[in-house]
Structure 1
Amino acid sequence: MQACTIWRHPAPVGAQGRCLGGLTDLPVDPRKAKRLAHRIRLHARRHGLARCVVTSPLRRAADVGRWLRRWGFAWHIDPALAEMNFGRWDGKPWTTITHQEFDRWMNDFTGFDFDGGEPLADLLARAAAWQPPCALAVGHGGWITARLWVAQQKGQAPLPGTWPAPPGYGRATSIPSAA
């Protein structure tokens, strides 16, 4: 399996204060998408990497791929890179999610499906199984965090207090191969 550097997409427009997952397809400011694409292009040139990128299908990641395609990159879309599906919570303001609902999640951190969404256990499995088709990718904070967890914690189930914060918007992360 080849090494891969994955960037978290730029900050989406309209995401402030919302539970943002795989069902909420928000755009990014075109200038920010272009700026991140430029950084990825420079990274590829600096490291002698093939002009190939894979992104999540969600606009906040795919908009970066569109810029790279304009500049001659092969661009692949992979649904396996999508953010976790937060089911009924997806897109809702965090302030509208009751303490009781939130407690349901904290009491079943990896198994809770957000009333029709994707449990964290499924995201961990999806991230672990992903095989990068090229050395450059654009994805989501939850997915990147899940991939790092699987690689670094070797079979340990995360708990609410041990789950790390996602990388910042536009940040690059080298993802280890999944074992």
Structure 2
Amino acid sequence: MSELLLPPELEREMAAVYAELARAYEVVASALGLSCSGCPDNCCDSWFFHYTYCEWAYLWQGLKQLDGATLAAIHARAEAYLGAAHKAEAAGQRPRLLCPLNEGGLCRLYRHRLLICRSHGVPATLAGPDGRMRRFPGCFRCQELVAGSFGEPAQAPAMERTVLFRRLALVEQRLLGPDRRSYPRLRLTIADMIVQGPPQRQ
């Protein structure tokens, strides 16, 4: 098998999706008065999964730009992360661990962070495959702001994720091509993506 690489045109489309997401995020954050400055919490210890090969490949584009020592340190943290996560899950607990890309409170791959990392924080809506609309309340600071300013959470502004997720799904289809059904479904943490190495063609 060979590495599954993002061609330039798909990389540009992903960058456009992320740029649009950033604009939509800022509109909602500004309307709510939400800022991460001085927050006692850290979103980078949230337990998230990622589901697309295109973002896995995009993450590795960023990792390959790091020097060997930095990449080795990140890999070691990712292995430790997975070990601790397995212990927490075995104990029936939801893991709450700092992302292996976080170093000194900052993401070492900030320009290559993934969609869920970019969208976490503000309220958001997402239409499921069945057409039902799901609403996400945002981070704890955001929920406090909403509770203090709106009678009901549903009255607060929210970022609509559906169109952006669909655009990312189209990138995924183009990347995997006609053989996409031969690819296993993904449910990976960033640590999994690091330890497993770049995605491979099937």
TM norm structure 2? 0.25
Normalized per residue, the structure richer in helix is 2
> Where is the strand percentage greater, Structure 1 or Structure 2?
1
Greater Rg, structure 1 or structure 2? Answer: 2
Asked which structure has the greater RCO (Cα within 8 Å, sep 6+), the reply is 2
